[in-house]
Structure 1
Amino acid sequence: MQDQHSATELPSVRRQKILLILERDGKVMASELSQHFAVSEDTIRRDLSELHSAGLVQRVHGGALPRPKDTGKDFLTRVGETDEVKVHLAQLAARHVRDGQIVMFDSGSTTLQIARSLPSTISITAITTSPLTAITLAEYPGIKVILAGGQLNLATMSVSGHETVRLLQGIKADVLFTGVCAIHPEVGISSLHFDEVPVKQALFDSASQVIAVTTADKLGAVEPYIVVPCSRLHTLITERHVASGDIDDYRKLGIEVVQAHA
């Protein structure tokens, strides 16, 4: 990038130009934008934070990516649709479940798909913070379902609050399948929703093995609220073709990385 801009131009103008560069290049880095606009990297980071807060970009380590487009569909509509990638990842995850285990299911469309992918004859005790996942698990004759109580978040269709955390703290599970809003090898797992953080932390603390299942677009991403460092993960299941982030960075942290073949 060449320095073609004045450091005195209005922040609003600079941010509009950042969006134009992002649309053209598909990714922006704070260091390059700093040189391009002749301002400090701290200034650029503030710009990116403002754009992120406005829902215009997705923050990643060192820069930003385009924000995933909103389809305008509500949560119930989205989880009712078939996503072939998530179905395949969920099938890989379901293979980690064994009869007799105590298994925790975090909220999210991917973990709901894992519940749908279990063998019909499986015999486990399942704990979840998602009413939709609880209903799905209840269809299995061999699964005992425990649904954590609390206040329902309509955006995520999951429960949260003191009662939720207290119940989870009283359980020692064999496996946790966690939903991932964003995961970065240095920053860790982060969430867009503040009230999710203590619930997710309690889930992590209560499981002997933690398996994260995520599509490639969540790798290298950062959301405002940090849940746990990546070192708390045992297994990461994701797509074969990773568009963002270096998958080896997760392996270097001691995480078993399982990538789908298709």
Structure 2
Amino acid sequence: MTFDDQQSDKITARQAEIVALVAEQGYTTLESLANRFSVSMQSVRRDIIQLDQMRLIQRFHGGAGPSDSTVRLGYQEKRSRSAEAKMKIARRASDLVLDGATIFLDSGTTVEALARQLRGRKTGLRVFTTCLATAMVLAGEQDVELHVIGGTSRGADGSLAGAATVASISTIRFDFAFIGYSGFDDDGTVMDYDLEKIAVKQAAIRRADAPILVGDQSKFERHAIAQIAAPRSFAKLVTDAAPPDRLSEVFLSSGLEVLIA
């Protein structure tokens, strides 16, 4: 019997469906789960506590999201998932970067793909990043002045965060900041999971002339644990498909330009 078989023997059908929903949607609330299964919130809370103890999901206040261990173990999978879409997004986003620009590159596999697109295509770039994986992509590039902003490692990709990271970013001015994210709130606010990484993203957004979101269409219907910033805080969203109508209306009214790769 495999490990997965052993795990499946220990959970109920409802719990298995909760795990699947969290994997598909990201953050899920207690209320939505209770409504979906027509049970009390207390029953769902017990399910989430048990699944959290088994490290199948992570319990948050008012709901659940992907477990940190799952995210760490799945980084290579995340890198390969929607690889073609990420390449198209990265190529379109790289077209926005001017020679000699000062840019911030956030953590995440789509931003890492952008770093690959910048190699050999632009000259005189000053690149600041808080992601060791992204830094390795650009290390040694002759036309790139690479700066790695220090901090505490927060993920399998070597994402760096913390008070010192935020303080360092706050002293720099960027022409562009390319920001990764995990989903959108009901009102269109951009969301992510890790609060310390969110603080880094927010600092970079504040210091950029043009903050730019990069993410594929799978993020449109996902929620996460906490808000990064409202759509009006960004100049552009580079993605691979048109957003659903509800988000398109919010983006339009907020002045957020959507570029489809």
Return the TM-score normalized by structure 1: 0.72
Partner AA of 2:199 in structure 1: P
> Deviation at 1:119?
5.4
1:185–1:230 Cα contact (<8 Å) kept: no
Question: How many Å apart are 1:254 and its aligned residue?
Answer: 1.0
Cα pair 1:220 1:244 within 8 Å, conserved? no
Q: Residues 37-52 of structure 1: matches in 2 within 5 Å?
A: 37=38, 43=41, 50=48
Q: Is the 8 A contact 2:88 2:240 kept in 1?
A: no
How big is the shift at 1:121?
Answer: 4.4
Distance 2:36 2:74 in 1: 41
Q: Is the 8 A contact 2:216 2:241 kept in 1?
A: no
| Distance of 1:75 and 1:116 partners within structure 2 | 17
Shift of residue 161, structure 1, vs aligned partner: 1.0
CA distance in 2, matches of 1:134, 1:36: 45
Q: TM-score, normalised by structure 2?
A: 0.72
- In 2, are the aligned partners of 1:219 and 1:244 still within 8 Å (CA)? no
Q: Deviations over 1:206-225 (max 9, x none)?
A: 11101101111111422112
Alignment correspondent of 1:189: 190
Q: 3-state DSSP class of the match of 1:252?
A: helix
CA contact 1:130–1:147 (8 Å) conserved in 2: yes
Flag the 1:181–1:119 CA change in 2: closer, same or farther, 3 A: same
Unaligned regions of 5+ residues in structure 2, if any? 1-10
Moved more, 104-113 or 129-138: 129-138
Are residues 1:112 and 2:112 paired?
yes
Q: Which stretch shifts more, 27-36 or 134-143?
A: 27-36
1:25-44 deviation line (CA, Å, top 9, x unaligned) = x99997897598497xxx59
Structure 1 distance, partners of 2:178, 2:201, is: 11
Q: Which amino acid aligns with 1:205?
A: R
Query: Are 1:178 and 2:176 an aligned pair?
Result: no
3-state SS, counterpart of residue 117 of structure 1: helix
Q: What is the Cα deviation at residue 135 of structure 1?
A: 1.8
Q: Following TM superposition, by how much is the alpha carbon of 1:175 offset from its aligned partner in structure 2, in angstroms?
A: 0.2
Deviations along 1:110-148, one digit per CA (max 9) or x if unpaired, are 001001012514121000001111121223211101100
Secondary structure of the 1:110 match is helix
**Aligned CA distance change for structure 1 residues 156 and 243 (closer, same or farther; 3 Å):** farther
Q: Return 5+ residue gaps in structure 1 as ranges.
A: 1-11
1:250 alignment counterpart: 251
Name the count of aligned residue pairs. Answer: 237
Distance 1:248 1:150, change over 3 A: same
CA distance in 1, matches of 2:193, 2:88: 25
What secondary structure sits across from 1:171 in the alignment? coil
Q: Distance in 2 between matches of 1:146 and 1:128?
A: 7
Is 1:239 equivalent to 2:240 in the alignment? yes
Distance, in Å, in 1 between the alignment partners of 2:65 and 2:161 is 30
Secondary structure at the residue paired with 1:146? strand
Give the number of the structure whose residues are more often helix, by fraction. 2
> Are residue 101 (structure 1) and residue 101 (structure 2) matched?
yes
Quickly say closer, same or farther: Cα 1:71–1:119, change in 2 above 3 A. closer
Specify the structure having the higher radius of gyration (Cα): 1
Identify the residue that residue 231 of structure 2 maps to in structure 1.
230
Q: In the alignment, what sits opposite 2:90?
A: 90
**Paired residue for 1:134?**
135
Q: CA deviation at 1:180?
A: 1.0
C-alpha distance in structure 2 between counterparts of 1:65 and 1:161, whole Å: 22
Q: Is the contact made by 1:105 and 1:177 (CA closer than 8 Å) also made in structure 2?
A: yes
CA–CA separation in structure 1 for the residues paired with 2:245 and 2:81? 25
Mapped to 2, the partners of 1:259 and 1:200 lie a distance apart of 22
Residue 3 of structure 2 corresponds to none
Indicate conservation of the 8 Å contact 1:153/1:159, yes or no: yes
Please give the alpha-carbon distance, in whole angstroms, between the structure 2 residues aligned to 1:179 and 1:72: 17
Q: How far, CA to CA, are the matches of 2:90 and 2:213 in structure 1?
A: 10
**Farther off after superposition, 28-37 or 190-199:** 28-37
